[in-house]
Amino acid sequence: MTSSIFSQLVLPLSLFIIMFGMGLSLERQDFARVVKYPKAVTIGLLGQMVLLPAVGFLIAGWLLAAPALAVGLVLLAACPGGTTSNLIAYHARGDLALSVTLTAITSVLTIITIPIIVGLALATFKDTSVPIELPVTRMMLTLFLITLLPIGLGMLVRGWRTPFAQRLEPKISAFGAIFLGLLIVIIMYEQGDSLLGQLVSAGPSALLLNIAMMIIGFLLAVWFNLNDRQRASITVEVGVQNSTLAILIASSVLNDGTIALPAAMYSLAMYLTGGSFIVWRRWQTRQQLAAGV
């Protein structure tokens, strides 16, 4: 991004606050649920940590000729779920405990996996005649400071002052939604004259990634005979990622606003598909109740 103050200070600080808010919604039991729901958690992790990046690479290679956009789409696919996925899972009558558990675990794992996957994307899509320098140490430190640290602090506050945490968390979630909207506007503005062409390139690929992974997540859950609420959560967790984190890495660590564009487009797409999924799930639930299921 053009403004170093925004990309190096405002954006990281805002994401720190957002992830702190996510920590306020978590408890230690959320990490221990892997023992209680081993099959469901394993399937969710398979979808998020393995299939999602693989599909991201396939779509990027198929639809995105611009290397920066291709790297941006893979970066997005490498990111964990976030508070948005938990919110959609809740309103879609999913298994909220499973959704939160997957978000918590992937937020920890991606500190290691994001640098690896982004490094592969840079080696695959960027101009090989130009030396590739991925700041791995800086990226891992950044991920720790804006994901694991604030989540841990939020969990400490929840354990120390639970009523306060429960009152504060919705306010931070609202801030996160407003900030994401502002972030999308800034990214689009900075693209200038090239915005329309970039939108035509990045928009369909971001939407396809979102829809394809929601379908894959749902089919995985059906294939392994998970219950109805678990299917809903797996669908959302595999299909909805933390686009704000992808934007921060692109602008603050990789210093390339174009890489952030797929995540900005994805942010719009996930509310459309997530909202549609909520409507469908509520209709399905009413039908099941009417049928006495």
Per-residue pLDDT of 132-174, as tens digits, reads: 566 777 777 877 887 778 878 888 888 888 888 888 888 887 7
Kindly state whether residue 293 falls inside one of the protein's structural domains.
no
Kindly state whether residue 56 falls inside one of the protein's structural domains.
yes
Kindly state whether residue 119 falls inside one of the protein's structural domains.
yes
Kindly state whether residue 240 falls inside one of the protein's structural domains.
yes
- The domain that holds 118 is classified in CATH as 1.20.1530.20
Q: What's the domain count of the chain?
A: 1
In the predicted model, is pLDDT for residue 33 greater than 70? no
Q: CA dihedral in degrees (277, 281, 283, 289; nearest 10)?
A: 180
Average pLDDT value for residue range 268-277: 85
Which residues form the domain of 83?
4-288
Alpha-helical regions (H) of the chain = 4-5, 11-24, 28-36, 38-46, 52-63, 67-78, 83-91, 96-125, 136-143, 149-160, 162-191, 195-223, 228-239, 243-248, 261-290
Q: What is the pLDDT of residue 201?
A: 73
Kindly state whether residue 76 falls inside one of the protein's structural domains.
yes
Q: What is the pLDDT of residue 180?
A: 64
Residue in 188, 186, 284, 180 with CA at minimum distance from that of residue 235:
284
Lowest mean pLDDT segment, chosen from 46-60, 66-80, 108-122, 279-293: 279-293
Q: Of residues 74 and 284, which shows the higher confidence score? A: 74
Span 170-194, pLDDT tens digits = 888 777 667 766 766 666 666 555 5
Kindly state whether residue 207 falls inside one of the protein's structural domains.
yes
Mean pLDDT of the chain: 81
CB-based contacts of 249, cutoff 8 Å, min separation 6? 75, 114, 118, 139, 142, 143
Check if the beta carbon of residue 246 is closer than 8 Å to that of residue 72: yes
Q: What is the pLDDT of residue 51?
A: 95
Kindly state whether residue 129 falls inside one of the protein's structural domains.
yes
Kindly state whether residue 165 falls inside one of the protein's structural domains.
yes
Average pLDDT value for residue range 23-28: 76
Q: What is the pLDDT of residue 130?
A: 45
